[in-house]
Structure 1
Amino acid sequence: MAEDWVAAEVPLAIDYNDAPHVVMMATPDDLADFALGFSLSEAVIATPAELNSCTATTLLEGIRLSLRIPPARAQALAQRRRNLVGNSGCGVCGTQHLEDVLRHPPRVAAAIAVSEVALQRALAELEHRQPLNALTGATHAAAWARADGSLAHVREDVGRHNALDKLIGAVARAGDDVRTGFLVVTSRASYEMVQKAATVGIGFIAAISAPTALAIHLADATGITLVGFARDDGHVVYARRSTED
């Protein structure tokens, strides 16, 4: 009889200053990275230093992340409270207001120029840097690549948004400059993925699958170079930052 490995997926509740904010279905790994990355990519905080503490508590129902942020940030968050239950494949499920869904980040400060050689190196390395997916076949990955294509960080999760948030947290905790690297994801490039990347200043995204029309629009508007269908035999550029920027 052969063994079969399956990916964990548990409810993950996030509270800010004791006020419930969101419940996500996620893989319960790299929780500190997730807490920081989610807080940054959702514009709850502006800098890593504003996340004052993060405490994880395992409950019968799932895991609770209790986060402390400055009072002014908590007050601003209360004004746009969305208290949602998000599943592992959706970044906006349960959002109460259209402006929460279509939050428009500012234009990114800079976008790195990535060579085809660097992109191919990143894709090749990522194929061998997904231990959870190798065991289960059920997770997405998000990777942070240096300018030469070598991978600095990789994070996995059953949800593509969660994997990206974990990666953003890892990059922030390491103090990496987002202007000097690029993002590679194993999922499609949805609007929410581009929105999260733009919010933290990432200027180049390469997705193994396709982008959506709204993702392309947002990439154009925020000055992000967006590549889709990134494979070992080529890729498609859907949005490119102007050389005049």
Structure 2
Amino acid sequence: MIPFSDPVVVAGYAERTARIVPGLRDLHTMAGVLLAERAPADARILVLGAGGGLELRALAGMHAGWRFDGVDPSAPMLDLARTTLGPLASRVRLHEGDVDSAPMGPFDGATCLLTLHFLPSHERLQTLERMLVRLRPGASLVVAHHSIPGDAPARDRWLARNAAFSAASGVPAAQADGSVSAIRERLPVLSPAQDVDLLGEAGFTDIELFYCAFTFKGWVAYRP
């Protein structure tokens, strides 16, 4: 797992993430569009995995009336979020911890971007369930993370493609290649079918794929 307490890792987070996640800025914009389909102009939005502040800044910039609660287990990453947000920080409350550190809401929408792939399936399910109960009926949840087919040949092929993208985006080749082993050995990545099943098991409905970029997938789902 990436050491998000390492000052060097924290300082380089924004640049590194933009190089390894295809269409990162567009992913944030799409999340804002999807949330706005059901969230009111004065919405309260929950952002789980808010460290760094990139999606908070994007969403706050898109919707001037929204207020946010951002949750992350890393204090240094929350400090980075405050810096990233600048004057937009006045509309954001940050909480150190996991989903249980989030207020109960109810929230008009939620995001969990580039976070769930760090959690084994049973913890993911618990996290999704605890997000569900914090949402208003009908509210949207937007998630995106590594999600790769389960059979070895396909998994290796997509990991290699993701590494090639990182290298083409300016990540040193050795580092990009090393990410393949790191993802395979350290992250409890699920298949897309398993991810959809977990969202359904947690109680979400009308689950739709909206983002597909090499090893990354994104879904929007709703609280009944």
**TM superposition score normalised by structure 2:** 0.31
* Structure showing greater Rg: 1
- Structure ranking higher in strand proportion: 1
